[in-house]
Amino acid sequence: MGELILMGVLLGLIPAMIASSKGRSFIGWWIYGALLFLIALVHSLIIREDPDVTEKRLLEKGLVKCPSCAEAIKPEAVVCKHCGRDIPAQTA
């Protein structure tokens, strides 16, 4: 019985780590994975990354938001690749 619980706890780490890399709750996915491993594993593989987490990561990499469409662009950009509008010059 103890081995079964230990195996569930360890297997739950796999979907939890995958989902956590996509911006989801590690603890919630760990419990889900420990209880329903196969379903949680497939679910963690097909879920999309959280858009807020994606945006935060892009901004941490040094990208900035376009003032017109709010999509992430390089700070050196003069034209937004998403909306095609001219980017005003940044004043330092």
Q: What is the mean pLDDT of residues 56-82?
A: 91
Q: What is the pLDDT of residue 91?
A: 42
pLDDT at 90 over 90: no
pLDDT at 92 over 60: no
Token reading at 29: 């996915």
Q: What is the pLDDT of residue 65?
A: 92
Q: What is the pLDDT of residue 61?
A: 92
Q: What is the pTM of this model?
A: 0.65
Q: What is the mean pLDDT of residues 74-83?
A: 91
Strands, DSSP E only, in the chain? Answer: 64-65, 72-73
Q: What is the mean pLDDT of residues 73-85?
A: 92
